[in-house]
Amino acid sequence: MASQSNNKQSNNKRLDNRTGKQTFVFHNRPNIIGAAAVVGEKEGQGPLSQWFDLILDDDTYGEKTWEKSESKMLKKAITMAMDHSGKTKEQMDAMLSGDLINQLMSSSFMARDLEIPFLGMYGACSTMTESLTLGSVLIDGGYADNIVAAASSHYCTAERQFRMPLEHGNQRPPSAQWTATASGAMILSSGPREGQQLIGGKQARNICVTHATIGKIVDAGIKDANQMGAAMAPATVDTIYQHMQDTNREPSFYDVILTGDLGHIGKKIAVDMLRKKGMDLDPVYNDCGAMLFGEEQDTHSGGSGCGCSASVYAGRIFKEMREGTIKNALLISTGALLSTISSQQGESIPGIAHAVALHAE
Amino acid sequence: MASQSNNKQSNNKRLDNRTGKQTFVFHNRPNIIGAAAVVGEKEGQGPLSQWFDLILDDDTYGEKTWEKSESKMLKKAITMAMDHSGKTKEQMDAMLSGDLINQLMSSSFMARDLEIPFLGMYGACSTMTESLTLGSVLIDGGYADNIVAAASSHYCTAERQFRMPLEHGNQRPPSAQWTATASGAMILSSGPREGQQLIGGKQARNICVTHATIGKIVDAGIKDANQMGAAMAPATVDTIYQHMQDTNREPSFYDVILTGDLGHIGKKIAVDMLRKKGMDLDPVYNDCGAMLFGEEQDTHSGGSGCGCSASVYAGRIFKEMREGTIKNALLISTGALLSTISSQQGESIPGIAHAVALHAE
């Protein structure tokens, strides 16, 4: 493979860890040795209920403000993931995390409490795969042995920051998505999880990260903040298509291809756009936003927020891969890089998506 | 498949690119092959005037909103840095950038226009060394050949977002700092700059990144948003001290140790705190916030904002290292991770600082 060749003149020890245009190859295969998803009450009543590690009874989580609730929820997901990994916070070399709240308030205050060296990430709802990508680079490249990758969102913090005060009780159009109250965290490590772990009498599989594709911003010109799925679909399509080109894989290589969070409308657009480019994602494709809530939960086009894909990956996908029901998964968190200011200034919504390929062995 | 042919059970080829607790060592020494600093009118009237690549006549930069002005300024700094490096945007593998504006509006819209794969960073005013650190990891580890690392701030976007509408003309206490209207960008590359470049008849030096130390969040309990220097000083001290421990270096190893942006007050606190720990930074230490404006410019405790250290590093330090007047530099961008919401909710201000060591050869 071209990616294996070393074309450096002076740096003869330097490896080439790329394939194609936008994809990193992790030859040392960073392991995901622990994960946890903490979600709110409504998310816990949805179809994915069984997969979450903690479902809150009360979305305030005992805090006086929603922002502090979100920060506490994120911290809980990270501490549960560390516990699950068998590692302590003192063993973590760095933490990569982000959220939707201005100046990453949820992540910053969580990081203050945990005292792990911190790198703040922002990719809107694409943050979980951004954290996973850069965390995997740090492990694979030998810069760290244990890394926390995390992301969160909370319906009540996002709603009042981006849209309306909750007390206003405004109507939402059918294309709108519902910001998930959810946090997801994964522990990346240079070695596999220590000690034997049995699931249903069988040895749990080891999960590793094999590739990551970094996305470009694609702006479809959409200005309606209630059409986030449509705004993010073109960037998502661009990243998935590039990933397949770069890795020389077909969608059928994967048991699961999971975007998050295009919702019902964006998911259909992405499938159509890829089909026009000659790529069929059936039957392995789904979207975390479309999966998180049941139709009767009245969230319209589905879930959104950094925590939506973070909790589905750290909750369901991690467990299914450990159990052996999924062997190869492609996870693509998708972000809409708007702000209230950019919308007020008449700007359209730039979309971005990063893809991470996981393998269970 | 690339990954399948290299399925590794053991990590015997994996390098160890760390030293001490929090420091990365870049054995392949990523090169800084281009840099540019674009600043506003007031910054261009200060004592560092001669070092900037472009000084705006008008801080609107021909745009209708301050946020669009900042985004355009950041884009200009990046395109100038790319031009200077002799590389095109098509050769850039990724771009790491951040700013202070909600949801990284300045960086996101810049990245939309440049169409380079984008990773959004947030570390408040520590963003430039966060971008440089992760950019260096991507180059050093063989994940990329050319990377843009950048950060920006604008007095008029920050002031109205974090403090008061400009039209309000409110008084600032003597401890307050002045958010710099400034953008800085550096181009990191796996190889040195191509072609000979003479400065004053002598061959320009090659600059490379040798180490990076990732900081922990340290919260000194300060709640006054006009005391940012004091809030950031303890985290800065923690990172500088850790860097020296990890690398087994003394401050005197460096020709320049440059924090950004503690301002006049924070700088004194940091010096005192380090002295108490037995570390003397004299005579090599200075702070970008303390250097950017002259006393007569009435900015009180000095400059701040992501663009403050970004423009001083990309402007003055880059040029001085190219010319050979600085051989070893330690750059420590410092961030105050507050938001208007965290302040309103009575929270103190968490500080963070990341350090990057440069060497000219």
Instruction: Inspect the interface and report whether the beta carbons of B142 and A347 lie closer than 8 Å.
Output: no
Q: Percent helix, strand, coil in chain B (nearest 5)?
A: 40, 25, 35
| Residues present in chain B in total | 361
Structure tokens at B235: 């985290």
Model pLDDT, residue A13: 65
User: HSE (CB half, 13 Å, CA atoms) of B333?
Assistant: 34
| Strand, coil or helix: B266 | helix
Q: Compute φ and ψ for A358, nearest 5 degrees.
A: -115, 150
In our burial notation (b when 16+ CB lie closer than 10 A, e otherwise), range B337-350 reads bbbebbeebebbbb
Strands B94-99 and B118-120: parallel
CA B154 to chain centre: 15
CA A81 to chain centre: 15
Residue A72 CB partners (closer than 8 Å, separation 6+): A61, A62, A63, A110
Q: For residue range A1-45, list pLDDT tens digits in order.
A: 333 333 333 444 678 999 999 999 999 999 999 999 999 999 999
Q: Does A68 touch chain B (CB under 8 A)?
A: yes
Q: Does B2 touch chain A (CB under 8 A)?
A: yes
Task: Tell me how far apart the alpha carbons of residues B188 and B192 are, in angstroms, rounded to a whole number.
Answer: 9
Model pLDDT, residue B13: 66
Is residue A96 very low, low, confident or very high in pLDDT (cuts 50, 70, 90)? very high
B100 to chain A: closest CA residue: A103
Q: Does B17 touch chain A (CB under 8 A)?
A: yes
Task: Tell me how far apart the alpha carbons of residues B356 and A89 are, in angstroms, rounded to a whole number.
Answer: 24
Q: Which of B17, B341, B350 sits opposite A143 (nearest CB)?
A: B17
Structure tokens at A132: 């996973």
Give, in order, the Cα–Cα distances in Å from A13 to each of A16, A275, B24, B190: 10, 42, 17, 12
What is the DSSP annotation of A288-356? HHHHHS-GGG--TT-EESHHHHHHHIIIIIHHHHHHTS-SEEEEEEEEE---HHHHHTT---EEEEEEE
Model pLDDT, residue B200: 84
A131 to chain B: closest CA residue: B119
Name the average pLDDT for chain A: 94
Instruction: Inspect the interface and report whether the beta carbons of B118 and A17 lie closer than 8 Å.
Output: no
DSSP 8-state secondary structure symbol assigned to residue B358? E
Model pLDDT, residue A281: 95
Q: Are B24 and B17 in contact (CB under 8 A)?
A: yes
Mean pLDDT by groups of 10 residues along chain B of 361 residues: 37 78 96 98 98 97 97 98 97 98 96 96 97 98 97 95 87 93 98 88 95 96 93 98 98 97 97 97 96 95 97 98 97 96 94 98 93
Q: Does A148 touch chain B (CB under 8 A)?
A: no
Token look-up 């094999």 returns A210
Instruction: Inspect the interface and report whether the beta carbons of B65 and A345 lie closer than 8 Å.
Output: yes
Task: Tell me how far apart the alpha carbons of residues B131 and B37 are, in angstroms, rounded to a whole number.
Answer: 15
Name the minimum distance, in Å, from the CA of A218 to any CA of chain B.
7
Residue A275 CB partners (closer than 8 Å, separation 6+): none
**Terminal-residue alpha carbon distance, chain B:** 40
Q: Does A249 touch chain B (CB under 8 A)?
A: yes
In our burial notation (b when 16+ CB lie closer than 10 A, e otherwise), range A135-167 reads bbbbbbbbbbbbbbbbbbbbbbbbbbbbbeeee
Other beta carbons less than 10 A from residue B315's beta carbon: 28
Model pLDDT, residue B1: 30
Task: Tell me how far apart the alpha carbons of residues B204 and B320 are, in angstroms, rounded to a whole number.
Answer: 10
Is residue A97 very low, low, confident or very high in pLDDT (cuts 50, 70, 90)? very high
The pTM of this model reads: 0.96
Structure tokens at B94: 């990724």
Residue B171 CB partners (closer than 8 Å, separation 6+): none
Name the minimum distance, in Å, from the CA of B12 to any CA of chain A.
9
Strands A178-179 and A118-120: unpaired
| Strand, coil or helix: A150 | strand
Residue A143 scores a pLDDT above 70: yes
Instruction: Report, as an integer, the average pLDDT of A210-222.
Output: 96
Interface of A with B in 302-331 (CB under 8 A): none
Q: Of A2 and A163, which is predicted with more confidence?
A: A163
Instruction: Inspect the interface and report whether the beta carbons of B118 and A216 lie closer than 8 Å.
Output: yes
Interface of B with A in 71-130 (CB under 8 A): 93-94, 98, 100-105, 108-109, 111-112, 115-124, 130
Which residues of B fall within a CB distance of 8 Å from A15?
141-142
Q: Which of A107, A122, A130 to mutate to test the interface with B (most CBs of B within 10 A)?
A: A122
Contacts 24+ apart (CB under 8 A), B267-273: B267/B229, B269/B229, B269/B230, B269/B233, B270/B233, B270/B236, B270/B237, B270/B240, B273/B233, B273/B234, B273/B237
Question: Where do the H-state alpha helices sit in B38-115?
Answer: 41-44, 66-85, 105-114
Token look-up 């003397």 returns B280
Contacts A–B by Cβ distance under 8 A: 225
